[in-house]
Amino acid sequence: MTLDIDPNSLIHPRSYGAAGQPHEAWTQLRAQAPVWLCEPDNYPSFYAITRHADITDISGRPEVFSNSDGIAFLSLRQLEERKTGPSPLAQMRTIIEMDPPEHRDFRKVASGFFTPRSIGRLDAVVNECARQHVDKLGEEGECDFVELIAERHPLRVLATILGIGPDDEDLLLRLTQQLLASDDPDLQRKAENREQALAELGADLLKLFNRVLEDRRARPRDDLATIIAHAQMADGTPMPMLETLGYYLIVFTAGHDTTRNAISGGMAAFLEHPDQLARLGAAPELARPAVEEIVRWSSPVNYMKRRLREDVEMRGVRMREGEDLVMFYASANRDETVFERPFEFDISRHPNRHIGFGSGEHFCLGAHVARLSTRALFRELATRIEWIEPAGEAALTESNLVVGHKALPIRYKLRPAA
């Protein structure tokens, strides 16, 4: 069989905005070319890795498949933009761009905070946050689910963890979207040109982080922003500024935008599969497996890039040191050799070995937070929704890394809170 694949559909943000994740192409690739040299327009070429087993293998060998050149796969234009001089973003270095052994030292700074036991303490607060957001829907009506709920609930949860006041939530939401949806004409930062936009965005992020950092250094509190501000390395020296600001960058942004896309993707799946929403309403204890299925189904973190530190042969393809590969989690999460009926949305799926939170060395630090807030929200929604239906065209973000809905209009009727 020959491959019938448009290479642009794998990586062009516009294609994700118009058609969503390219599942048909990935299905062909998993079957016929699981390590495929993709040569799109306006991007460098890369190896597309689409099978679950290969992605977990690669993720387990960080000394060969490196993160230190970044995890986003940039277009030729973006690569050019980054050459035009130091951007304020260069003053921040995140743990996701580090390799071991260094990565382990820096990950330890916050890993204690993110354990299930530590996050479990937030249970009551997160449940209350979910209830308040569902209350905003009123008894019946129409709204954009993204605007009213999906982007607000995880943002409030993260703000609580970080100790950020409600006044800063709007600013953080805007800056995060400008950073993570920088290709989307509706969400990107507007300026004279893209270089300028990136520089101004970096400066605003830096200003926010420096303000929080100075405050927490002067007035420590019981929150994650304080833990990061006062972090020490194993030898007792303070965490350097570059990595301290980098920690703020990844937690302040990845800490809510990813979950927002899981929640809107989950709602879109329930609108398409109302029987699954009814099941959850009748058996709220299914919320735990339902969240895993939502993350598998929506895979909001679409891929991670790795760069080869040496020549490697995989599935008969010889890849060279210095080349890039892109691991498509969203493809692995539909791998027919791992999941029975991979294209069925089943909230009680068991086992569910999805890798929506990644695998190995860089496994998502915030997975328990994401699970807790998504679970609380859908438990509340499913028990209160009497009926719900789409109320117009949904819209997808023009983005290839963090992917999902930018609008999801719904019409509904709710029962009062218990």
Q: Could you tell me the smallest distance in angstroms from the CB atom of residue 146 to ligand HEM?
A: 15
Span between the terminal Cα atoms of the chain, in Å: 57
Helices 241-272 and 153-162 pack at an angle, to 10 degrees, of 150
77: its two tokens: 């234009």
Segment near ligand HEM (CB under 6 A); pick from 41-49, 280-288, 294-302, 390-398: 294-302
**Which is closer to ligand HEM, CB of 213 or CB of 301?**
301
Q: Could you tell me the smallest distance in angstroms from the CB atom of residue 404 to ligand HEM?
A: 10
374: its two tokens: 């998504």
CA 32 to mean position of chain CA atoms: 28
Q: What is the 3-state secondary structure (H, E, C) of 168-202?
A: HHHHHHHHHHHHHCCCCCCCCCCCCCHHHHHHHHH
Distance CA 396, CA 304 (A): 20
Amino acid present at 395: A
Distance CA 77, CA 82 (A): 9
Q: Mark residues 336-375: x for contact with ligand HEM by CB under 6 A, - for none.
A: --------------------xxxxx-xxxxx--xx-----
Distance CA 309, CA 320 (A): 8
**Which is closer to ligand HEM, CB of 5 or CB of 251?**
251
* Residue from 50, 59, 75, 331 in contact with ligand HEM (CB under 6 A): 59
Q: Could you tell me the smallest distance in angstroms from the CB atom of residue 114 to ligand HEM?
A: 7
Which single residue brings its beta carbon nearest to ligand HEM? 366
**Which is closer to ligand HEM, CB of 17 or CB of 358?**
358
Residue 259 near ligand HEM by CB under 6 A:
yes
**Which is closer to ligand HEM, CB of 15 or CB of 374?**
374
Residue 246 near ligand HEM by CB under 6 A:
no
Helices 287-298 and 241-272 pack at an angle, to 10 degrees, of 100
Distance CA 35, CA 42 (A): 21
CB contact at 8 A, 159 and 166? yes
Scanning residues 159 to 218, which ones bind ligand HEM (CB under 6 A)? none
| Rg of the chain taking only CA atoms, in angstroms | 21
Strands 324-328 and 46-49: what pairing?
Answer: parallel
Report the SS3 class of residue 388.
strand
Q: Could you tell me the smallest distance in angstroms from the CB atom of residue 302 to ligand HEM?
A: 9
**For residue 338, what is the DSSP state?**
T
Residue 262 near ligand HEM by CB under 6 A:
yes
**Which is closer to ligand HEM, CB of 254 or CB of 347?**
254
Residue 319 near ligand HEM by CB under 6 A:
no
Q: Could you tell me the smallest distance in angstroms from the CB atom of residue 20 to ligand HEM?
A: 16
Q: Name, in order, each residue with C-beta under 8 angstroms of 179's C-beta and a sequence gap of 6 or more.
A: 201, 205, 253
Q: Could you tell me the smallest distance in angstroms from the CB atom of residue 248 to ligand HEM?
A: 11
Distance CA 141, CA 246 (A): 42
**Which is closer to ligand HEM, CB of 178 or CB of 298?**
298
Q: Binders of ligand HEM: how many residues, by CB under 6 A?
A: 29
Segment near ligand HEM (CB under 6 A); pick from 26-34, 37-45, 233-241, 299-307: 299-307
* Residue from 199, 201, 301, 394 in contact with ligand HEM (CB under 6 A): 301
Distance CA 326, CA 65 (A): 11
Segment near ligand HEM (CB under 6 A); pick from 19-27, 174-182, 254-262, 271-279: 254-262
* Residue from 229, 239, 250, 338 in contact with ligand HEM (CB under 6 A): 250
Scanning residues 98 to 117, which ones bind ligand HEM (CB under 6 A)? 107
Q: Could you tell me the smallest distance in angstroms from the CB atom of residue 306 to ligand HEM?
A: 9
Name 36's bridge partners. 48
Footprint of ligand HEM on this chain (CB under 6 A)? 59, 95-96, 107, 158, 250-251, 254-255, 258-259, 262, 295, 300-301, 304, 329, 356-360, 362-366, 369-370
